[in-house]
Amino acid sequence: MKILILGAGQVGSSLAKYLGSDDENDITIIDKDEANLSSLQRHLDIKTVCGHASYPNILEEAGIKEMDMVIAVTKSDEGNMLACQMAHTLYQVDKKVARVRTAEYLHRKELFSDSAIPIDFIITPEGLVTDYIKRVVEEPGAEQVFEFENGLVQLVETRAYAGTPIVGHPIKELHEHLPKIHMRIVSLYRNGKAIPAYGDTVIKDGDRVYFVTKKSSVSKVLKEFRRLDKAYRNIIIAGGGHIGLNLAKHLEKNHRVRIIELDKERVIEM
């Protein structure tokens, strides 16, 4: 696959390294910083072009007409969106991916369509971090939470503690304790090593357990492995940047949230 990456910052460089590790991918990257490009070219088998990533002549120099995918991850949301617009309108590139961080754009879902700004997949790093923290806050006792099927199903990591219902008992007893709940242990770690999660496997104190179940059943399953913490009510967020403010907005409905921010102008803005 021929892939054009716009922006050689941390995200763009990481993508170039990851995608470039597959011999079937042909990677070209555009950036205004020649030093960044030289560093990448010393370590990776990729083509680089120095210039503004949303200028048509630079895009054409990079071979956009032959590209299967464009990934726009420059520091500018507007530049990323414009580049995807041109990739679609001028060069008929099949797949367009863009990093968009500004909430004002993201809240307008109608912006991102073939009839408006044609982006097939939007990368929102702050949104991913916010969603991750929000899920952990909402499930006291969970150490990691990942969502599937639009949030209906969750993969949860927790630790098993002595004195709880399933510790010292085989996994198959979970279905006796929770007869109306559909759940499955998909992975089990003991002393840092993966062990088979069979029905006869006995859960021990300190085991790290990964299970899948419906979101509505998570708290009931967690009670089998640990005594649940009380629901979090008061939350302090250190830093009022994009992530801190976005997280506060997501949590303020059900929690008392305070933000600590050093920049007085930012405090007034919030």
Three-class SS state of 256: strand
Q: Is residue 133 part of a domain?
A: no
Say if 228 falls within a structural domain: no
Query: CATH code at 147?
Result: 3.30.70.1450
Structure tokens at 60: 């054409």
State which residues of the chain have pLDDT below 50. Answer: none
Domain final residue pick, 123, 151, 184: 123
Are 119 and 84 a contacting pair, CB within 8 Å? yes
Summarised one tens digit per residue, pLDDT across range 159-211 is 999 999 999 999 999 999 999 999 999 999 999 999 999 999 999 999 999 99
Could you tell me if 215 and 248 lie in one domain? no
Query: Which of 123, 153, 169 is the endpoint of a domain?
Result: 123
**Residue 90 resides in a domain:** yes
Structural domain tally of the chain? 3
The reply to whether 198 and 257 lie within a common domain is: no
pLDDT of residue 255: 80
Tracing tokens 């279905």 back to the chain, one arrives at 175
**Assigned domain for 136 exists:** no
Pair 23, 86 in one domain: yes
pLDDT score of 229: 67
CA distance linking residue 134 with residue 145, whole number of Å: 9
* 208 within a domain of the structure (yes/no): yes
Residue 8 is assigned to a structural domain of this protein: yes
Q: Are residues 112 and 14 in the same domain?
A: yes
Is the pTM higher than 0.75? The answer reads: no
Residue with tokens 């009670």: 223
Residues 71 and 175 occupy one common structural domain? no
Distance CA 40, CA 20 (A): 11
Give the model's pLDDT for residue 197. 93
Q: Is residue 89 part of a domain?
A: yes
Residue 265 is part of which domain span?
A: 234-269
203: in domain: yes
